[in-house]
A and B are shown apart, each in its own frame.
Chain A
Amino acid sequence: MNDLGFPLLSALIVVPVVGALAIALVPRSNAALVRGVGAATTLVVAALSVWLLVAFDGSDAGFQLGEKYTWIADFGIAWNLGVDGISLFLVVLTALLYPIAVIGVRPHHDPKPYLAWLLLLEAGCIGVFLSLDLFLFFVMFEIVLVPMYFLIGGWGYGERVYAALKFFLFTMAGSAFMLVGIVALAFLHQQATGELTFDLVTIAEAQGSIAQTTARWLFLGFAVAFAVKVPLFPLHTWLPDAHTQAPTAGSVILAGVMLKLGTYGFLRFGLYLFPEAAAYFAPFLVTLGVIGIIYGAVVAAMQRDLKRLVAYSSVAHLGFIVLGTFAFTTQGLQGGVIQMVNHGISTGALFLLVGMIYERRHTREIAELKGLQKAAPVLAGVFTVVMLSSIGLPGLNGFVGEFLILLGSFPTRRWWAVVATVGVILAAVYLLWAYQRVFHGAPDEANAGTPDMDRRERLIMAPLLAAIVFLGVYPKPVLERIEPAVDRLIAHVEASSDFSKPEVAATEGER
């Protein structure tokens, strides 16, 4: 048990599950009660996450508020939770994005199973970020597939069955490699030390108990699973389908939270467990990330479907995060972590806005939308801010992340950083171009009557806009909480590989 005297981390996982079970018990006909329970549950989780934010000690680089209970004694598996500067904001992001997605978007039919699946998904996502046990992590990482599969397949658009199957099978295939990797890691650790355990910290701190080549193979096993989830080029093909066909709330959670399971996995499990192998494969992964930046941007510019465009922009943004992660500098990793949060906010907001446009016009074809600015000025204004945040305009949150990533990767991955900078410009190209086509000009007959945002929609966009501006103007409280954990991780990589952080970055980091 932790110092709080309350199992806060377990509660973050258990409360959504309880909420889902409660919804399952409410009769189907009572839609208002179903919605009420759903909204209340997400608000409770959000409140718990704020408590977590307050209780978190920003100067401590290690895992905090730990909870550990034996689960399967025979295998040394435990319900082992903990939070550090890297996972803290991802948990908070999830918990705060959820009420917006749940209250802001209503499903077209069957709210009961829809909300139950969404809440189970929330438990799984938060569980991934909090797990400090390899087995528990895998359970959480894999269980999120089921709710998302049913959300896409049950409440999605046109090609939803195809998209849901593709999403499930791609991710499961990646996880297959990771499961073998996890099991192998645990047993090799047992052979070296005599103790069978799946405890992340124990295994990660026992560097050297596994041969270098073996560790590299195992890292690849983990990397495949994370690369599918991120997704890294060329394993990204499930993403545009899943994002486009998912219901709006599904897209928001998929882009806002679930893609981070991959990048978070690279940080927490890739770098921490296999520092030497991560340093060895870093050029390769950074190359894939940079290809993703350029490819995602170019393909996004070609899209005729607004939602698909946003989906491809995720490929580009996630490429940046991978670049920052494998730069191994304080700024690069900090930028990567904060960019995960930023992308969750901006892309989540973009999907909400695209969903609103679809609700009004029943199309997402850019060619059929025109001059919406005249008809719906508030919608256009909000879209502008969110879009500029996604582009990385200084003063908004996207800039902070991208700038730190480029700053951090320049000393160690110079030419990749140079190419990635082009991606910033391309982002402006495809988003501004799309904005022009959708919002500018004189609306034709079909678009002229588009209603503007109503009060509920304004209410759910307001916190997102506030976060976009706040993180863009004053990111310090977030960055200084991320920094100790990130520095500790880099020191861990340096201690176990022949990588050493360049001088410039080191002095910058000590500032």
Chain B
Amino acid sequence: MTPAAIAQIEPIATPQIEWFAVSPLLVLVGGALVLLTAAALARSRPPRGFYALFTVVTAALAVACSALLWQRVTDPARGPFTAIGGAITIDGFSVFFAVTITAAIALGALLADDYLRREGLDGPELYVLMLLSGTGGVVMAMANDLIVVFLGLETLSIALYVMAGLHLRRLESQESAIKYFVLGSFSSAFLLYGIALVYGATGSTNFGAIASFLAGNVLASNGLLLAGFALLLVGLGFKVAAVPFHVWTPDVYQGAPTPVTAFMASASKAAGFAALLRVFVSTFDVYRLDWRPLMWALAVLSLLVGSFLAIVQSDVKRMLAYSSISHAGFILVGAEAASDRGVAGALFYLLAYTFMVVGSFGVATLVAGRGDAEHGLSAYRGLSRRRPLLALTFTVLLLAQAGVPLTSGFLAKFYVIGAAVEADSYALALIAMLSAVVAAFVYLRITVAMYMGDETDEPEAVAGPAVRVPPAAALALGAAVAFTIVVGVLPSPVVDFARDAVPALLSAP
């Protein structure tokens, strides 16, 4: 090419990148890369617990960056802003999810530490994948564009597929990975198709542009758009495990290594809801009359199916999996309200739920013993005598999931019920509370096994399999219980945090 021809080529406009805005992402990705490189180059094995410690420190750094961002977006003089050419939004909402997902990473890493050694799987892989997967989740929450949502979702999911299959010697783990991968790919396809249809109907994939197009134009025939809504809801509904897109959940949760299940149930669900809330409640606000009934149906189905099917399980991991479906129903109750209070309620619920569910699966990790196999209800029999503190921990977390007052779980339910009632969804509020009673039966069954074994079998119960509580896991469980109770008693700071984290709708500059 001649110099003259080169001079004629227009330079590609690369967007201005504000590094500060993406600092939580950079920390997480950077941490993952450093860990991977260092582990590959190191001559000798690092000291025990190094990987987990490194992951927790990385997560803490990401939280620190998020705190700085929070200061900036809540400063009335500056407020929320978009970055990277309008591809991502930095607002209270994305910072809230950055914190939630990072917390899940830290807790998951603490649980994984001893688990990997116990199962003979020690290595940096799980931690690296967890950091990367979490990064994808944060990207989903920050996304200001449907394509970015998809990118985040894929980053999140692909790492999770591998994590689910990480326990090489357990057939269930392999099965879980394949099942999750195949069904997950389907759901990604649905999501992508939905994105295409919405793009076709509105002419943009940017949230701000879509919203202003929908607000400013009346579509003569909106079939394309509504079909896009439906497909998006299928794709995101799969990620949050809402009925009827939940069928993978019990099998995958049961088969995956338990710390991975803990991470999956918390971070992946949070990321899915981040996208769901931003896309539907915020971006498609004008069309709320069209999507609210869909959300209503998803919520009711998730609540009822989740809580009723949990009853008939005999495997604690499956019980928790079904209960996580009914929790998704509760969060959908907040989404269905389509109001600021509804979103704030869903956020509060997700943060509270993250600690409850990681803690619960954390207890399951410890009780399962070597081989990650003892998940039957019988493994919990007499736990109160063998491990009183562990039994008490599990009890607190289960009662919180049931929505007993003075726990974060109760306030979470109170918050979303309040939003539903404010939006006149009385029936939904009532169905949700009654399904909580059904779900409570499941949690009580587990406490019965732990505390109220028959007196006749007491000697065997006391002599049941020994349960070891390693310090890292104890730290994670302690954090989960402390958060659950402290937020249950003094919720104001978290209530304010969730209230100020309502998504901002910004157009590309």
Query: Which A residues are within 8 Å of any B CB, using their own CB?
Result: 71-75, 135, 138-140, 142-143, 145-146, 149-150, 153-154, 160-161, 164-165, 168-169, 172-173, 176-177, 179-180, 183-184, 186-187
Contacts and interface: CB of A to CB of B under 8 A. Distances in A.
A143 B405 contact: yes
B414 A183 contact: yes
B18 interface: no
A180 B435 CA distance: 13
Q: What 5 pairs between A and B have smallest CB-CB spacing?
A: A176-B433, A139-B405, A153-B452, A173-B437, A183-B421
Contact of B433 (A74, A140, A145, A180): A180
Given A74-B492, A153-B452, A154-B452, A183 B418 contact: yes
A338 B437 CA distance: 34
B433 A153 contact: no
A146 B440 contact: no
B437 A180 contact: no
A180 B433 CA distance: 8
Given A179-B414, A183-B414, 19 more contacts: A72-B491, A135-B414, A143-B404, A143-B405, A146-B399, A150-B451, A153-B452, A154-B451, A164-B452, A165-B441, A165-B448, A173-B437, A176-B430, A176-B433, A176-B437, A177-B430, A180-B426, A183-B421, A184-B421
Contact of B448 (A145, A153, A172, A173): A153
A172 B440 contact: yes
A168 B496 contact: no
Contacts of B219: none
19 contacts: A72-B492, A74-B492, A74-B495, A74-B496, A74-B499, A142-B404, A143-B404, A143-B406, A146-B399, A153-B451, A160-B452, A164-B452, A165-B448, A169-B440, A169-B444, A172-B440, A173-B434, A180-B426, A183-B429
Contacts of A139: 405-406, 410
A168 B426 contact: no
B277 to A, nearest CB: 19
Interface string B441-459: 1001001100110000000
A139 B437 CA distance: 16
A222 to B, nearest CB: 14
A168 B447 CA distance: 13
Interface of B is mostly: helix
B422 interface: yes
A123 to B, nearest CB: 11
Interface string B474-509: 000000000000000001100110010000000000
Given A145-B404, A160-B452, A180-B426, A75 B418 contact: yes
A504 B452 CA distance: 56
A146 B434 contact: no
A142 B444 contact: no
B452 to A, nearest CB: 5
A138 B411 CA distance: 12
Given A74-B492, A146-B399, A176 B451 contact: no
Interface of A is mostly: helix
A186 B419 CA distance: 12
A24 to B, nearest CB: 10
Given A72-B492, A142-B404, A183 B451 contact: no
Contacts of A160: 452
B232 interface: no
Contacts of A149: 444
A216 to B, nearest CB: 14
In the complex, which of the residues A72, A183, A186 has the most CB atoms of chain B within 10 Å of its own CB atom?
A: A183
A138 B406 CA distance: 11
B417 interface: yes
A187 B418 contact: yes
Nearest to A143: B405
B436 interface: yes
A187 B444 contact: no
Contact of B444 (A138, A143, A168, A186): A168
A154 B458 CA distance: 13
A185 to B, nearest CB: 9
Contacts of B436: 172, 176
Contacts of A135: 414
A8 to B, nearest CB: 22
Contacts of B452: 153-154, 160-161, 164
A186 B417 CA distance: 12
A140 B495 CA distance: 21
Contact of B437 (A73, A169, A184, A187): A169
B417 A183 contact: yes
B351 to A, nearest CB: 15
B426 A184 contact: yes
B434 A179 contact: no
Given A146-B399, A176-B434, A177-B430, A169 B417 contact: no
A145 B406 CA distance: 12
Nearest to A73: B492
A137 to B, nearest CB: 11
In the complex, which of the residues A135, A173, A186 has the most CB atoms of chain B within 10 Å of its own CB atom?
A: A173
Nearest to B422: A187
B496 A180 contact: no
B495 to A, nearest CB: 5
A72 B406 CA distance: 13
A142 B405 contact: yes
B333 to A, nearest CB: 12
A180 B404 CA distance: 15
B440 A168 contact: yes
Given A74-B499, A160-B452, A180 B429 contact: yes
A161 B495 CA distance: 37
Interface in B397-429: 399, 402, 404-406, 410, 414, 417-418, 421-422, 426, 429
Contacts of A164: 448, 452
A271 B426 CA distance: 23
B338 to A, nearest CB: 16
A142 B437 CA distance: 12
B451 A169 contact: no
A336 B293 CA distance: 47
A179 B441 CA distance: 19
B504 to A, nearest CB: 20
Nearest to B433: A176
Contacts of B495: 72, 74-75
Contacts of A187: 418, 421-422
Contacts of A184: 421, 426, 429
Contacts of A186: 418
A180 B441 contact: no
B448 A180 contact: no
Contacts of B430: 176-177, 180
Nearest to A188: B421
In the complex, which of the residues A138, A179, A186 has the most CB atoms of chain B within 10 Å of its own CB atom?
A: A179
B384 to A, nearest CB: 9
Contacts of B414: 135, 179, 183
A169 B404 CA distance: 12
A180 to B, nearest CB: 5
A74 B422 CA distance: 15
Contacts of A173: 434, 437
B334 to A, nearest CB: 13
Contacts of A146: 399, 404
A165 B444 contact: yes
Contacts of B421: 180, 183-184, 187
Nearest to A176: B433
Nearest to B496: A74
Interface in B324-350: none
A131 B319 CA distance: 36
Interface string B58-102: 000000000000000000000000000000000000000000000
Contacts of A145: 404
A71 B444 CA distance: 29
A146 B437 CA distance: 14
Contacts of B434: 173, 176
A145 B399 CA distance: 11
B399 A179 contact: no
